[in-house]
Structure 1
């Protein structure tokens, strides 16, 4: 293959790559900016750093609301958790929702991918009740489905779909999630005990006094050092007497030893 042909193939491939990238890329902030009803919702997505997360996805559905006032009193962490529930990690438009195989489905949201959700907190339930009535709600057991589908706002199949719903989905356990509550303050460390003063060190301790005044328990008394010294002295005296007796029997031990064949020189 000639260099010119290779360059042509590369240019063609690169053109298709750019075309595909452009077709699949989207900007949620720019999309919502075309609809004044979602201005506050759009601002909150950007303020809580969710717009960037949304734009980095390839396939996504946004459940937008025109009234975000219930979020005003919440902390930024709680706002982010609730808003993340309104970002579905799949593409759903009205036609797809009407064709749900079992008239109901569980949807995975951006909150589930955050790693903060517990149990089914990060999932939504969507149910088609026939006709044009489609409702959303938390997938937590016992939750009501009270957020109705209003209309389709924008769509870029099969990358992004923006659907308007009637109200925010705000499970109490998500709003008050313990995963981001401020940790309690640790107790202050105990102060070190004061060092004893010289006067305290010189004074006798009560324990020592108590031990000195306590009665001595009955028991065998050990031999005293004085008794041991008497024993040693007695043994030494006995040995000396034995030496004297031997000398009395053998006046000249050297002569006796020489006769026995043992060389001995008296000191």
Structure 2
């Protein structure tokens, strides 16, 4: 039995199994050894559970050689990259052929549904290149479109379709979004501005001290007052002494009165002497 007959038999069994129950991407890919590594990563990242919970889905699968370019990356980064390879609609080769003839078509992926995508990272574009070949790329501006469609691996119209592509779809910035869904804890540098309002009362706390400073300086000024007042007191004390001396000593008017009185008495004596001579 050739490989085509084996693939047809496996696909028939898959369709029978899917008719009786919901599809299981892990069991489906386990029938194709070329996608073992891709299947393992879907299980490790829990993307298999999300895929199986959908009613309509398209998986852009990578064989063991193409998936090796993701080796060494953190699991959360691999999950985001692979979630871009899950389209939230059913597309087989024929449907994609019609889309690629219409310039560029944008498709929604599972990464967009996660809520972690920004700047069109959750969308991919499909267009025709090289004489009708369907190629995929990120919808982010200036992202390359060179991941080509290889073939259909399995399909169940219109629930699930698995398509092989040549290489992982490159999404700019997706590797650096490890903490996009969970904000990082505040760093000490970022917490200092938050504490600054608490430190704001510090100036107000200093204000009473500044207000108290004049009060503290007031006694000092008062204490200095006696040191400056003694000269005033000393200056005043001579005035008081002078006032007392002035009170005891005759004023100018009193001195003139005394002198005029003396002259009056002297004149009377002279007049008396002259009268005595005339009488003789």
**Residue 77 (structure 1) aligns with:** 76
Q: How does 1:138-157 map to 2 (within 5 A)?
A: 138-157=138-157
CA 1:130/1:24 → structure 2, altered by over 3 Å: closer, same or farther?
Answer: farther
Contiguous gaps of at least 5 residues in structure 2: 1-15, 196-211, 224-280
Contiguous gaps of at least 5 residues in structure 1: 1-18, 191-205, 217-267
CA 1:209/1:112 → structure 2, altered by over 3 Å: closer, same or farther?
Answer: same
Q: How does 1:54-203 map to 2 (within 5 A)?
A: 54-66=51-63, 67-100=66-99, 102-129=102-129, 131=131, 133-177=133-177, 179-180=180-181, 183-187=184-188
Q: Distance in 1 between matches of 2:21 and 2:114?
A: 23
Which structure has more helix as a fraction of its residues? 2
| Matched residue SS, 2:144 | coil
CA 1:136/1:93 → structure 2, altered by over 3 Å: closer, same or farther?
Answer: same
Q: Distance in 1 between matches of 2:67 and 2:54?
A: 24
Q: Distance in 1 between matches of 2:61 and 2:27?
A: 14
* Root mean square deviation, CA, Å: 3.0
TM-score, structure 1 length as denominator?
0.61
1:210 and 2:217 matched: yes
Displacement of 1:78 after TM fit?
A: 1.4
Contact 2:70–2:78 under 8 Å retained in 1:
yes
Displacement of 1:158 after TM fit?
A: 1.1
| Matched residue SS, 1:43 | helix
CA 1:116/1:214 → structure 2, altered by over 3 Å: closer, same or farther?
Answer: farther
**Residue 194 (structure 1) aligns with:** none
Displacement of 1:140 after TM fit?
A: 0.7
Contact 1:97–1:128 under 8 Å retained in 2:
no
TM-score, structure 2 length as denominator?
0.59
Q: Distance in 2 between matches of 1:60 and 1:127?
A: 19
